[in-house]
């Protein structure tokens, strides 16, 4: 039970309310970092190793957590230069021990059942399962189109529509070979250079979920999370 958490973003949009910390360390309930809430979900579902992909103000994360969080062993894959989402994942593989890995964002809480995701991923014999979520406004994320069997068949860019639809929830279950095909230490976007490219020639499947979802990347939603906590 192993995961990579992407925690190296600059958090530009959130700086008006959280100016001195990386996004995943933004304080929520009782001043605890949001990243603790994310890792609590993983810990209670049996994860025992997490690789934190860090970059911007990585010291804040590393000094707070050290090498363990509760029952979870922590490793750090630090970016010395920005590598993008795909490059950050690729860089993290050096610390991963499993072939099948969960990847998620450190600034998003999506309370899915990971055991169900594992079963879905293995039953479809795919190299990638993407967790999807229905939302009222897809303009911030872009939308994902699927066939009747859950096969991913298309993507719409963000800002193209403010209507409701199905978005990429930012959680992936994948085989490490999907990332190992890309060169190491090279910046690239996982969404554009793997997900939105390789789905045309390879079967990627969508795992839909209506579980609680919040992305604290903008001040309005961060303040919602603080009020919920």
pLDDT over threshold 90, residue 227:
no
Contacting residues for 19 by C-beta, under 8 A, at least 6 apart: none
* 159-186 average pLDDT score: 89
What's the CATH code of the domain at 150? 3.90.550.10
**Boundaries of domain holding 94:** 2-228
Is the pLDDT at 151 greater than 70, yes or no? yes
Question: Among 6-15, 80-89, 90-99, where is mean pLDDT lowest?
Answer: 6-15
Residue 8's pLDDT band (boundaries 50, 70, 90)? confident
Mean per-residue pLDDT for 187-202?
94
**Number of Cβ atoms within 10 Å of the Cβ of 91:** 23
What's the pTM value of the predicted model, to 2 decimals?
Answer: 0.93
The predicted pLDDT at position 138 comes to 84
Which residues are within 8 A (CB) of 127 and not within 5 positions of it... i.e. 6 or more apart?
174, 175, 177, 178, 202, 204
E-assigned strand segments in 26-135: 49-54, 68-69, 72-78, 100-105, 108-110, 128-135
Question: Residue 179: its pLDDT value, please?
Answer: 97
- Residue range 16-58, pLDDT digits in tens: 566 678 889 988 887 899 999 999 999 999 999 999 999 888 9
Average pLDDT over residues 70-88: 95
Res 14 pLDDT > 60: yes
Name the domain count of the chain. Answer: 1
- With residues binned 3-state (H G I as helix, E B as strand, rest as coil), the percentages for the chain, rounded to 5, are 30, 30, 40
| Model confidence band, residue 164 (pLDDT cutoffs 50, 70, 90) | confident
Neighbours of 217 (CB within 10 A): 18
pLDDT at 183 over 60: yes
């Amino acid at each position: 039970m192993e995961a990579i958490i992407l925690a190296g973003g600059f958090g530009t949009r959130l700086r008006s309310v959280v100016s001195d910390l990386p996004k995943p360390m933004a304080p929520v309930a009782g001043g605890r970092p949001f990243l603790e809430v994310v890792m609590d979900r993983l810990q209670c579902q049996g994860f025992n190793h997490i690789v934190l992909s860090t970059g911007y103000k990585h010291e804040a994360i590393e000094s707070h957590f050290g090498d363990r969080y509760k029952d979870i062993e922590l490793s750090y894959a630090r970016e010395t230069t920005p590598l993008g989402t795909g490059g950050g994942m690729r860089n993290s593989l050096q610390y991963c021990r499993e072939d099948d890995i969960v990847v998620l964002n450190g600034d998003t809480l999506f309370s899915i059942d990971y055991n169900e995701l594992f079963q879905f991923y293995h039953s479809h014999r795919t190299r990638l399962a993407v967790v999807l979520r229905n939302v009222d406004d897809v303009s911030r994320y872009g939308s994902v189109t699927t066939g009747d069997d859950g096969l991913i068949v298309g993507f719409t860019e963000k800002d193209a529509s403010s209507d409701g639809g199905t978005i990429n929830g930012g959680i992936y279950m994948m085989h490490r070979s999907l990332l190992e095909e890309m060169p190491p230490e090279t910046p690239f976007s996982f969404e554009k250079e793997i997900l939105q490219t390789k789905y045309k020639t390879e079967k990627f499947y969508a795992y839909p979920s209506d579980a609680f979802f919040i992305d604290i990347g903008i001040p309005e939603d961060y303040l919602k999370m603080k009020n919920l906590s």
